[in-house]
Structure 1
Amino acid sequence: MGDRPRTTTGVRGVPGDPLVDRFGRVHRDLRISLTDRCSLRCTYCMPEQGNEWLARSSILTVDEIERIARVAAAAGVTTFRLTGGEPLLRADIVEVVRRLAAIRTPRGAAIDLAMTTNGIRLADLVEPLREAGLRRLNISIDTLRRDRFHELTRRDRLPEVLAGIAAAAASGLRPLKLNAVAMRGVNDDEIVDLVEFALAHGAQLRFIEQMPLDAGHTWDRASMVTRAEILETLAQRWRLTPVPGRGGAPAEKWTLDGGTATVGVIASVTAPFCGQCDRLRLTADGQLRNCLFSTGEYDLLGVLRGAPGVHGVPDAGDAAIDAGVDAVLRACVAGKLPGHAIDDPAFLQPARGMNAIGG
């Protein structure tokens, strides 16, 4: 289901050095997918039936996730984002958060621990997650209409998502962000409504250009609502002022009517931010990716399970395993390309869908 793992031959750098690629980008953000399974079947992501799930035996354990995260933190990673699939489907999700929240940087600072979720189980879990150390939430919501939500996700679960958003808003976790994929003829008539909904919940709405990451490979550029079109629609309702200092953040932000409220746009297709990208991605089955659109992966699962001590039992092999994990991290960073080249005629869509890569 995935791409062929790469080797670590010829890697420069030693444990403790920052993760810097050939283009000078310092990598500080690790997206950790906890599962490829999801409680929804969004049309732009997964088929309704016939999905080929990862074998449970290949899914990283909590101990393995923690080990990779500790090695990454020692190499300068300061942000972990938990993704899926749907991360709240993991029965041990609170323990995952607790373990990762306990990790510190080499200078003793706390890790910035965030999560992207569809919100369906959030009403019950937001307080345990907050108490365990979760600091930020992104919640996906593409429409406020129940009939449209059912059609788009093939599941009638909008009330649960709305309850999750309300619980997150009440929890005090900030910043709270709501993500919406803008699609022509599907939800592009709700752009203003979605922003107003986010504002009412103390959240920032972030619109995402639809990307070629569906498992069925049916992406059509013509159906994508572009950054320019999103901004044009928003400008009919609010005065937009660009927020400077984006850095490596995926979203450009604008203030609304000169106030403190903001809206974001992630324009990976029409205005890619590859030059500032500081992210790596870990799949649920232990493969490391240096780009969302990568066609290659670097195998961490084999490093972890090819030696003793990977399930939290200290022994003489632990240092060697950590060194192996560090070497794979550095190989992955060293192999990163300058950009994803979606606009290149030779662009190849990744073999995995978004649910199996991790958002």
Structure 2
Amino acid sequence: MDRRPIISPATPLIDRYGRQITYLRLSVTDRCDMRCVYCMKARPEFLPKADLLSLEELTMLCDAFIARGVTKIRLTGGEPLVRKDVLTLIESLGARIGPAGLKELCLTTNATQLPRFAERMAAAGIRRLNISLDTLEADVYRQLTRGGGIDKALAGIAAAKAAGLQVKINAVAMAGVNETHLPDLIGWAHGEGHDVSLIEVMPVGEIGADRSTQFLSLKDVRSSLSDRWTLTDLPDNTGGPARYVKVEETGGRLGFISPLTGNFCDSCNRVRVTCTGQLYACLGKNGRIDLRHALRAGGPEALDRALDEAVAEKPWGHDFDVSPGAAAAVDRDMARTGG
């Protein structure tokens, strides 16, 4: 695969609200070895593999974004590590890290594949991982993932730590499911040296579940945690939507990602591209630009024009609603969008 260095940024991608796009979340597959209840249906219909962009095309897309000022790329899925030969893509993009290219390449995973891949990922230039883990309770984990084994996830997290990768645990807070487990999860993660971010349930995709019963306000979670621990606000910004505190008793960092109770759209610096090349400038909107068509039919110039069009149409933000009876904000699920 092409390893040429990226040279000179062209015109930056700046939307009509003055926000510069510096962060690309790129899905490499909609497939996953889990079936998490807030992410997809129990029996999802996966895309035909022929519809997916090739690894070479994914690299070309990344090159186009880097040339326009994107400095951070996060590979997502589905579960990105179930895509065949994904390490080839990781190694190719890792070669783009440097003064004239990327500042950071990272990945979101459920950790089950990490014992096979962690060392090679670290060697390729990945330094940080977001790992989805909503509970330490084996039975609840099995329920949430529809059959997953927590031992595999914990083994993957241990492999990432052994490889020198920085781990952040992402936990979706769900009423009546894992809300009482969150303190134990946070305490364990901080004891292992991992950051934690808590995330509110988002109404993305029809998944066969009532999100109004799943939703748990992180304002309430923070209030509850404050009864147990001392939480000190931090100015830290990792390029994402989390607002961080230090848990004084554990010494660890805790983030709150609150798309419903603490809208963060004013500082949005990111876009999402699916494994089929559809660019979504907002997670909570259906508007998209077909980069696959631009790439295959028109080449680099058409791709550049498509990026301009997408950024020009980027909305101010989402309008999520998890009240009883409310429809999903968008029809595509998280696995297809890129989690």
Q: CA deviation at 1:236?
A: 2.1
Question: Could you tell me which of 112, 118, 126 is aligned with 2:110?
Answer: 118
C-alpha distance in structure 1 between counterparts of 2:151 and 2:268, whole Å: 35
Question: Which deviates the most, 62-71 or 208-217?
Answer: 208-217
Distance 1:37 1:347 in 2: 24
Mapped contact 2:172–2:199 kept (Cα < 8 A): yes
SS at match of 2:228: coil
C-alpha distance 340-114 of structure 1, shift in aligned 2 (>3 A) = same
Partner of 2:121: 129
Aligned to 2:6: none
Using the TM superposition, give the Cα deviation of residue 170 of structure 1 relative to its aligned residue in structure 2, in angstroms: 1.8
Change (3 A) 1:261 1:293: same
Higher alpha-carbon deviation: 222-231 or 34-43: 222-231
Q: Aligned letter for 1:352?
A: R
| Residues 1:199 and 2:177 aligned together | no
Cα contact 2:175–2:215 (8 A) shared by 1: yes
Aligned pair in 2 of structure 1 residues 217, 27: CA closer, same or farther (>3 Å)? farther
What corresponds to 2:14 in structure 1?
20
Correspondence list, 1:25-174, <5 A: 25-49=19-43, 51-104=44-97, 107-174=99-166
1:220 alignment partner, one of 196, 208, 211? 211
The letter of the residue matching 1:249 is G
Check conservation: 1:211, 1:219, Cα contact below 8 A.
no
CA contact under 8 A between 1:300 and 1:325: conserved in structure 2? yes
Counterpart residue number, 2:265? 274
CA contact (8 A) 1:208 1:265 kept: yes
Q: Which residue of 2 aligns with 1:7?
A: none
After superposition, the CA RMSD in angstroms is 2.0
Moved more, 274-283 or 322-331: 322-331
Return 5+ residue gaps in structure 1 as ranges: 1-14, 308-320
Residue 240 of structure 2 aligns with which residue? Answer: 249
Aligned to 1:351: 331
Please give the alpha-carbon distance, in whole angstroms, between the structure 1 residues aligned to 2:208 and 2:143: 19
Do the aligned residues in 1 keep the contact of 2:203 with 2:322 (CA within 8 Å)?
no
After superposition, the Cα gap between the structure-2 partners of 1:112 and 1:225, relative to the gap in structure 1 and judged at 3 Å, is same
What's 1:184 paired with?
A: 175
**Contact 2:77/2:338, CA 8 A, preserved across alignment:** yes
* Alpha-carbon contact 2:26-2:273 (below 8 Å) kept: yes
Distance between the aligned counterparts of 1:144 and 1:233, measured in 2? 19
Which stretch shifts more, 263-272 or 237-246?
237-246
1:282-323 per-residue CA deviation (whole Å, 9 max, x = no partner) reads 10111011011121110011122225xxxxxxxxxxxxx112
Report if aligned partners of 1:282, 1:288 keep a CA contact under 8 Å in 2. Answer: yes
Q: Identity percentage over the alignment?
A: 39
Deviation at 1:226, TM superposition (A): 0.8
Structure 1 CA distance for aligned equivalents of residues 14 and 285 of structure 2: 18
- Structure 2: gaps of 5 or more residues: 1-8
- Equivalent residue, structure 2, for 1:261: 252
**Structure 1 length-normalised TM:** 0.87
**Residue type at the aligned position of 2:109:** T
Residue identity opposite 1:200 in structure 2: G
**Pairs aligned (count):** 329
